[in-house]
Amino acid sequence: MTLNEDVFEDVVLSSPVPVLIHFWAPWCGLCRRIMPLLNRFNGEWADQVQLFDVNADENFRLATQYQLQTLPTLLFIDSGQVIQRFEGFRGQDEFRRALDLLMSRYQLEQSYRD
């Protein structure tokens, strides 16, 4: 699902579950290459994490607010706070490992809280 600045706060910062935001742009080749991995991630973790896309070119205020310096940039946000930031991927394998590690850590933290 694609978000814009108008709904970002209501949807993301007020979400009862963690959110993974994918900042991308149409001209970004790696952004397009990781889309299938994000779709697969969404299928595996849809019950625990919401995934949203934000076009950085069309949402300059958000790009500035989150100090984007490269695309793609992904933010893992829980309870309105950025927990993890991903940027500068060198390929799909590295990206997939980073997502798997993120979710493993998150599940472990949740088990300690419960």
* Tokens at 17, concatenated: 């579950």
Catalytic residue among 11, 25, 28, 51: 28
Roughly what angle, to the nearest 10 degrees, separates helices 29-45 and 92-113?
Answer: 30
H/E element holding 73? strand 73-78
Catalytic residue list contains 31: yes
Catalytic residue list contains 113: no
Catalytic residue among 12, 21, 31, 34: 31
CA distance 25 to 31: 7
Q: Is residue 54 within 8 Å of residue 24, measured between CB atoms?
A: yes
Instruction: Just list the catalytic residues.
Output: 28, 31
